[in-house]
C-alpha cells in the first residue's frame, strides 16, 4: 500500500468519526426538543477560532412551518452582557479605560449617586444597582443612544458597592454610556465597527421591533407544557444587557476576541478572574463572564440569558479554545448551561461509544427536591446506546429519554433540558444511578454535590 493511499484512508476514517460525533449531537438535539417542547434549537461549536459545527433543529416559526436555520436570528437575552464586556476588554487593551475607573470619570452626566461606581463593580454585579429601571415609560420608545436611557435609572443603591452580589441589567446601560463617551461613537456604531465587523459577526444586530427581519425567529414561551406565542416587546432600553439578535455561529466567534489579539492576554486574564467581595468571598464572576466547572471536570467561562421568547448560552473553554452556543426561541426553564456542557462533551468525544448491554429493569427512583426526598416506582429500558425512563411520578421524572455519552455517563433529556446521569451497571443490571442538575458559577464539580435523583435496585 502506497503512502498516498494510506493517507487517503486515514483522512476518510477521521471524517467518518467526525460525522459520527455530529450524528450523536443531532440525535440528542432531537430528543431535547421532544422532551422540552421547545419549538426550535440552534447550536454552533468552534475550536481554535474556527466554526466547525453549526446546525439548527425544529422550527423558527411553528405556524408557518418555517424550519430553524443556523442563519435565523434569535434574541441574545443576557448573553448581550458578554458582548458589551468584550468591547470593554478591547478599550482596556487599547489603554482607553481601566476596569477600576469610576464611571463619573468618563460619563459627566451620570446620576451623582452612581458617579463613584467602578467599571469592575458594574460589570461584575457588585455595584448595588437595581436590576430594572425605576422610572416609567422606558418601554414605549426606541432608544438610539445609551445616554438617553440613563434618566430612567434612578433608584437608590441596594447596598454599599463591593459588599454583595446582585445581578443588574441596569449596570450595562451605564457601561454602554462609558463606551459611547470613551469612543466618541454611539454604542451601536462602536459595536458594529470595532466588535462585529472585525470578528465577522454578520448576523448580530440591535433589535428594533418596528423593523423586524424575516431572518428573525418567532418568539414563544412554554407554560405548563404548552407552547404559546410570545408578545414582541421593545428591549432597546437595555440593549447592552439584553437587546441584540444574533445566532450561535456569531456568538462563538465572539470568543475569538480573546485569542486573536483584539484583547490582550493580560486583560483577558483579568476579565476571567473572579471578583472578590469586601468580606473575602469570591463571586465567580469577573468582568461579566462567569467562571464555573462543568460536570465533566472542565473549567468553563460562560454566560446565559433568559428573556421574552428566548433561552440562550455561550460557553467558552479557554484551555481548549473550544466554544459552544445554544439558543432556543422560547422562554423556558431549561438548565441551559448543563445542556450546553453535555453537547460540548459529545463534540469532544471522538472515540466510538461502546454499545451498552440491553437493560429492562424496575427501579426505585428517589427525587431530592426542595421539599425533601420522595421515592417513586420506575423502569428503565436500554437498547444499544439509547433508553427510556418511566416512573409513576407526577413531575418531570414521569418519562425521559437517555442517550449514552461514554462508559458510565448518559444525557437524560427532560423538560428542563439535558441532565447528566451516571450509571453503574453490572452486565445488564443497574446497580446505581445518579442524576445531577446545576446552573452556573460552580466552584467545584457538580458531582461533588448531592444528586437531584438517585436510581436504586429493587431488592
Q: Over range 172-189, report the average pLDDT.
A: 98
pLDDT score of 136 more than 80: no
Average pLDDT over residues 71-76: 98
Instruction: Give residue 222's region: left, alpha or beta (phi > 0; psi -120 to 50).
Output: beta
Q: Cα(377)–Cα(393) distance, rounded to whole angstroms?
A: 8
Write out pLDDT tens, residues 257-311: 999 999 999 999 999 999 999 999 999 999 999 999 999 999 999 999 999 999 9
Q: Does 5 have pLDDT greater than 60?
A: no
Lowest mean pLDDT among 93-107, 162-176, 374-388: 374-388
d(CA 210, CA 178): 27
Half-sphere exposure of 128 (CA within 13 A, CB side): 17
Domain spanning 77-333 has what CATH number? 3.40.710.10
Is residue 9's pLDDT more than 70?
Answer: no
Mean pLDDT, the chain, as a whole number? Answer: 93
Q: In angstroms, what CA-CA distances link 410 with 37, 242, 347? A: 21, 33, 14
Q: Has residue 41 got a pLDDT over 90? A: yes
What are the structural domain ranges in the chain? 77-333, 356-457
**What does the pLDDT average to over 93-116?**
97
- How far, in whole angstroms, is CA 311 from its chain's centroid? 8
Mean pLDDT of all residues in 86-109? 98
Q: Which of 209-213, 320-324, 377-381, 399-403 has the lowest mean pLDDT?
A: 209-213
Distance in angstroms (rounded) separating the CA atoms of residues 183 and 36: 43
Cα–Cα distance, 73 to 96 (Å, whole number):
32
For residue 75, which of 292, 257, 231 has the smallest C-alpha distance? 231
Task: Decide if 240 contacts 86 (C-beta within 8 A).
Answer: no
Residues 6+ apart with CB under 8 A from 359: 380, 381, 382, 387, 425, 428, 429, 430
pLDDT at residue 356 tops 70? no
pLDDT, average across residues 219-231? 94
pLDDT category at 21 given cuts 50, 70, 90 is low
Angle 336-348/3-36 helices, nearest 10 degrees? 160
- How far apart, in whole angstroms, are the C-alpha atoms of residue 103 and residue 163? 18
Give the mean model confidence (pLDDT) for residues 413-425.
96
Q: To which residue does cell 451498552 refer?
A: 356
**pLDDT confidence of residue 4:** 60
Element at 32 (helix H, strand E): helix 3-36
Distance in angstroms (rounded) separating the CA atoms of residues 404 and 349: 11
Mean pLDDT, to the nearest integer, of 442-453?
A: 96
| pLDDT for position 19 | 47
What 3-state class would DSSP assign to 291?
A: strand
Judged against a pLDDT cut of 50, whether residue 17 lies above it is answered with no
* pTM: predicted TM-score of the whole model, two decimal places: 0.94
Of 18-22, 97-101, 260-264, the one with minimum mean pLDDT is 18-22
What is the spatial distance between Cα 408 and Cα 30, in angstroms, rounded to a whole number?
22
Closest to 36 measured CA to CA, from 306, 367, 404, 419: 419
Q: What is the pLDDT of residue 6?
A: 58
- How many beta carbons lie within 10 A of that of residue 5, not counting itself? 9
Contacts of 125 (CB under 8 A, 6+ apart): 165, 166, 167, 168, 171, 283, 285
pLDDT of 18: 47
Percent of the chain with pLDDT strictly greater than 70: 94
Quickly name the fold that domain 356-457 has: Porin (2.40.160)
Amino acid at each position: 500500500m502506497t503512502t498516498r493511499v494510506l493517507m487517503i484512508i486515514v483522512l476518510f476514517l477521521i471524517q467518518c468519526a467526525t460525522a459520527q460525533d455530529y450524528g450523536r449531537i443531532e440525535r440528542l438535539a432531537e430528543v431535547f426538543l421532544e422532551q422540552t417542547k421547545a419549538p426550535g434549537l440552534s447550536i454552533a461549536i468552534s475550536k481554535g477560532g474556527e466554526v466547525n459545527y453549526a446546525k439548527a433543529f425544529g422550527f423558527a416559526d411553528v405556524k408557518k412551518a418555517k424550519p430553524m436555520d443556523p442563519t435565523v436570528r434569535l434574541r441574545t437575552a443576557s448573553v448581550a452582557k458578554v458582548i458589551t464586556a468584550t468591547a470593554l476588554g478591547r478599550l482596556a487593551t487599547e489603554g482607553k479605560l481601566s476596569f477600576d475607573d469610576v464611571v463619573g470619570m468618563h460619563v459627566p452626566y451620570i446620576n451623582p449617586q452612581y458617579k463613584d461606581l467602578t467599571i469592575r463593580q458594574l460589570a461584575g454585579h457588585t455595584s448595588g444597582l437595581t436590576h430594572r429601571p425605576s422610572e416609567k415609560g422606558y418601554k414605549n420608545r426606541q432608544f438610539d443612544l445609551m445616554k438617553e436611557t440613563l434618566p430612567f435609572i434612578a433608584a437608590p443603591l441596594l447596598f454599599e458597592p463591593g459588599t454583595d452580589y446582585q445581578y443588574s441589567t441596569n449596570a450595562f446601560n451605564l457601561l454602554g454610556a462609558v463606551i459611547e463617551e470613551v469612543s466618541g461613537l454611539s454604542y451601536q456604531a462602536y459595536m458594529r465597527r470595532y466588535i462585529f465587523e472585525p470578528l465577522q459577526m454578520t448576523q448580530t444586530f440591535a433589535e428594533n421591533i418596528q423593523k423586524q427581519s424575516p431572518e428573525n425567529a418567532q418568539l414563544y414561551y412554554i407554560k405548563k407544557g404548552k407552547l404559546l406565542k410570545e408578545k414582541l416587546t421593545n428591549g432597546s432600553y437595555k440593549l447592552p444587557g439584553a437587546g441584540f439578535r444574533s445566532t450561535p455561529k456569531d456568538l462563538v466567534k465572539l470568543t475569538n476576541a480573546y485569542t486573536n489579539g483584539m484583547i490582550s492576554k493580560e486583560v483577558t486574564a483579568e476579565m476571567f478572574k473572579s471578583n472578590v467581595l469586601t468580606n473575602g468571598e469570591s463571586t465567580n464572576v469577573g468582568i461579566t463572564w462567569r467562571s464555573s466547572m462543568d460536570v465533566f471536570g472542565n473549567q468553563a467561562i460562560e454566560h446565559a440569558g433568559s428573556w421574552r421568547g428566548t433561552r440562550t448560552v455561550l460557553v467558552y473553554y479557554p484551555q481548549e479554545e473550544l466554544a459552544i452556543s445554544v439558543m432556543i426561541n422560547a422562554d423556558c426553564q431549561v438548565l441551559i448551561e448543563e445542556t450546553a456542557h453535555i453537547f460540548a462533551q459529545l463534540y469532544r468525544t471522538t472515540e466510538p461509544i461502546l454499545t451498552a448491554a440491553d437493560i429492562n429493569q424496575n427501579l426505585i427512583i428517589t427525587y431530592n427536591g426542595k421539599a425533601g426526598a420522595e421515592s417513586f416506582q420506575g423502569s428503565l429500558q436500554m437498547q444499544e446506546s439509547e433508553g427510556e425512563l418511566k416512573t409513576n411520578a407526577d413531575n418531570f421524572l414521569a418519562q425521559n429519554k437517555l442517550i449514552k455519552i461514554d462508559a458510565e455517563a448518559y444525557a437524560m433529556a427532560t423538560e428542563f433540558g439535558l441532565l447528566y446521569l451516571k450509571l453503574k451497571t453490572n452486565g445488564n443490571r443497574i446497580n446505581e444511578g445518579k442524576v445531577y442538575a446545576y446552573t452556573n458559577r460552580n466552584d467545584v464539580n457538580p458531582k461533588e454535590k448531592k444528586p437531584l435523583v438517585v436510581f436504586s435496585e429493587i431488592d
